[in-house]
């Protein structure tokens, strides 16, 4: 059972438990689950309601109800490249050709299936909460929360731009200028469920980039997203006339690599429980390194 503890400060003296827990970013939905799904709220080891009045020095403990994984999710013994792990989060270097979560096209063999197996080995009763999802053919760092409440906090941080990701891509041709920003709105292309395009009525999308090197008729580019639209990097570089190598959906060619040459190489976020900023790196995978 996932638990959190706090000591009430002098400034929080006289606060209702409800107000105190709101201050700790525990949502109304989480409080409802705690009340009706088997969780507990305790002060100094005694069960209390959200109307209990706290005193400075009290120890507040919240026990969240156990999580139930979907009946459609199966644990599979798939190797994981774990970059970092603690009681709250796990950072994984996802290989290309692996979907992040199951879908109709890829019901198994996903990162989520592998994580469930990893959790079972740890006797961790939790489902998979992906914070930073990647396309199936994009490789690199993925941040996953080990509990719904942790996911809630990190998702809010992500909405406010607090979760930073840097990518590296290899594009056809020589991208100019060497440093630039692509500010072009993105929306669905026609009736397509998958494909996106730059269009005036799309959502604002901003991509910052810097060319690292030119090599073999290609550009090796470092990319920082300001917004997070579906296929944003792929669409923006195709729009520039420099589609990603291997990205045949957006004009790239697959003679040299059998997927879009895109890798999430750096991930940074503020850890809400360790109270510090953490930064992780993942080197280019072999197929992209071989292009260079």
Listed in sequence order, the residues at least 6 apart from 272 whose beta carbon sits closer than 8 Å to its beta carbon are 25, 88, 150, 153, 154, 157
Side-by-side strand order, sheet with 3-7:
3-7, 59-63, 40-43, 46-47
* Exposed/middle/buried for residue 157 (C-beta within 10 Å: 0-12, 13-18, 19+): middle
CA–CA separation, 219 and 21 (whole Å): 50
Instruction: Sort 227 into a burial class: Cβ within 10 Å, 0-12 / 13-18 / 19+.
Output: middle
Judging by DSSP bridges, how do beta strands 262-271 and 139-145 pair with one another?
parallel
Helix runs in 49-146, H state only = 111-121
How is the chain split among helix, strand and coil, in percent rounded to 5?
Answer: 20, 30, 50
Active site (catalytic) residues: 135
Q: How far apart are CA 245 and CA 238, in angstroms?
A: 10
- The alpha-helical segments, DSSP class H, found in the chain are 17-23, 28-36, 111-121, 148-159, 232-239, 286-291
For the record, the structure tokens of 60 come out as 């507040």
């Amino acid at each position: 059972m996932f638990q959190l503890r706090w000591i009430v400060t002098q400034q929080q003296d006289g606060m209702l438990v409800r107000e105190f827990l709101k201050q700790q970013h525990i949502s109304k939905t989480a409080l409802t689950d705690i009340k009706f799904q088997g969780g507990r709220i305790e002060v100094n080891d005694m069960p209390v309601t959200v109307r209990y009045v706290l005193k400075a020095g009290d120890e507040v403990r919240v026990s969240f109800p156990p999580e139930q994984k979907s009946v459609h999710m199966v644990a599979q013994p798939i190797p994981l490249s774990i970059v970092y792990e603690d009681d709250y989060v796990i950072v994984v270097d996802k290989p290309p050709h692996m979907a992040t979560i199951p879908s109709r096209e890829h019901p198994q063999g996903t990162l989520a299936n592998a994580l469930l197996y990893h959790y079972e080995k740890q006797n961790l009763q939790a489902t998979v909460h992906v914070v930073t999802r990647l396309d199936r053919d994009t490789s690199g760092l993925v941040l996953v929360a080990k509990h719904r409440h942790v996911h809630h906090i990190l998702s809010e941080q992500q909405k406010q731009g607090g979760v930073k990701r840097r990518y590296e891509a290899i594009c056809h041709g020589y991208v100019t200028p060497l440093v630039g920003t692509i500010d072009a709105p993105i929306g669905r292309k026609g009736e397509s469920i998958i494909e996106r395009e730059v269009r005036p009525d799309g959502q604002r999308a901003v991509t910052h980039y810097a060319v690292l090197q030119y090599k073999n008729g290609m550009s090796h580019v470092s990319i920082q997203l300001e917004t997070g639209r579906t296929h944003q990097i792929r669409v923006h570089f195709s729009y520039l006339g420099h589609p990603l190598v291997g990205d045949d959906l957006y004009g790239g060619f697959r003679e040299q690599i059998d997927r879009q040459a895109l890798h999430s190489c750096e991930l940074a976020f503020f850890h809400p429980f360790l109270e510090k900023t953490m930064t992780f790196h993942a080197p280019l995978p072999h197929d992209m390194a071989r292009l260079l």
